[in-house]
Amino acid sequence: MSVKFGLLAILSEGDCYGYQLRGEFDRRTGARSSLNVGQTYTTLDRLERDGLVERGDVNSEGHVFYRITQAGRLAVTDWLDAAEASARASRDDLVTKIAIAVTLPGIDAAAVIATERLALLDRLAALTPVPSDDQIAAGIVDSAARFKAEGELAWLDHVERTILTGPVRADFPLAQDIPRRGRPSAQQAATV
Amino acid sequence: MSVKFGLLAILSEGDCYGYQLRGEFDRRTGARSSLNVGQTYTTLDRLERDGLVERGDVNSEGHVFYRITQAGRLAVTDWLDAAEASARASRDDLVTKIAIAVTLPGIDAAAVIATERLALLDRLAALTPVPSDDQIAAGIVDSAARFKAEGELAWLDHVERTILTGPVRADFPLAQDIPRRGRPSAQQAATV
DNA sequence: ACAGCCATGTAACTTGTTACATGATTTT
DNA sequence: AAAATCATGTAACAAGTTACATGGCTGT
**In angstroms, what separates the C-alpha of A130 from chain B's closest C-alpha?**
18
Q: Are B43 and B35 a contacting pair, CB within 8 Å?
A: no
pLDDT digits (tens, 9 = 90+) for A140-191: 988 999 999 999 999 999 999 987 775 544 556 666 544 445 555 544 444 3
A156 touches chain B (CB under 8 A): no
- Considering only CA atoms, name the residue closest to the C1' of nucleotide C24: A183
Q: Are A16 and B177 a contacting pair, CB within 8 Å?
A: no
Cross-strand bridge partners of residue A53: A68
Nearest to A35 by CA among A43, A65, A76: A43
Nucleic strand C under 7 Å from the C-beta of A157: no
pTM of the complete model: 0.86
A77 touches chain B (CB under 8 A): no
Cross-strand bridge partners of residue A16: A66
Cα torsion through A40, A46, A49, A50, rounded to 10 = -110
The DSSP secondary-structure symbol of B13 reads T
Partner residue facing A100 (CB), from B9, B96, B112: B9
Per-state percent for chain B, helix, strand, coil, to nearest 5: 55, 5, 40
Please tell me the predicted confidence (pLDDT) of residue B87. Answer: 57
pLDDT digits (tens, 9 = 90+) for A41-85: 999 999 999 999 999 989 878 899 999 999 999 999 999 999 986
| Nearest nt to the B41 alpha carbon by C1' | D9
The angle that helices B37-49 and B18-29 make with each other, rounded to 10 degrees, is: 110
Nearest to B97 by CA among B79, B80, B85, B115: B115
What is chain B's alpha carbon radius of gyration, rounded to the nearest angstrom? 25
Q: How far apart (Å, rounded) are the C-alpha atoms in residues A178 and B21?
A: 12
Q: How far apart (Å, rounded) are the C-alpha atoms in residues B150 and B34?
A: 24
pLDDT band, residue B91 (cuts 50/70/90): confident
Gap from A171 CA to C24 C1', in Å? 32
Q: Are B186 and A62 a contacting pair, CB within 8 Å?
A: yes
Which residues 101-140 in chain B show a CB within 8 A of chain A?
Answer: 101-105, 107, 112, 115-116, 118-120, 122-123, 135-136, 138-140
A5 to chain B: nearest residue by CA?
Answer: B97
Interface test with A, best of B2, B27, B40, B100 (most A CBs within 10 A): B100
How many Cβ atoms are within 10 Å of B40's Cβ, its own excluded?
Answer: 22
Amino acid at A47: L
Residues of B in contact with A9 (CB under 8 A): 100-101, 104
Please tell me the predicted confidence (pLDDT) of residue A6. Answer: 97
The helix/strand/coil state of A183 is coil
Q: Positive or negative, the Cα torsion across A105, A110, A113, A119?
A: negative
How many Cβ atoms are within 10 Å of A85's Cβ, its own excluded?
Answer: 15
- In chain A, DSSP assigns E strands to 16-17, 53-58, 64-68
A78 touches chain B (CB under 8 A): no
Q: Which helix (H) or strand (E) holds B65?
A: strand B64-68
CA atoms within 13 Å, Cβ hemisphere of B96: 25
Gap from B50 CA to D9 C1', in Å? 19
Q: Are B136 and A168 a contacting pair, CB within 8 Å?
A: yes
Please tell me the predicted confidence (pLDDT) of residue A171. Answer: 56
Interface test with B, best of A16, A39, A95, A134 (most B CBs within 10 A): A95
| Nearest nt to the A61 alpha carbon by C1' | C7
Q: Are A25 and A13 a contacting pair, CB within 8 Å?
A: no
Q: Are A140 and A30 a contacting pair, CB within 8 Å?
A: yes
Q: Specify the range with the lowest mean pLDDT, choosing from A105-114, A133-142, B171-180.
A: B171-180
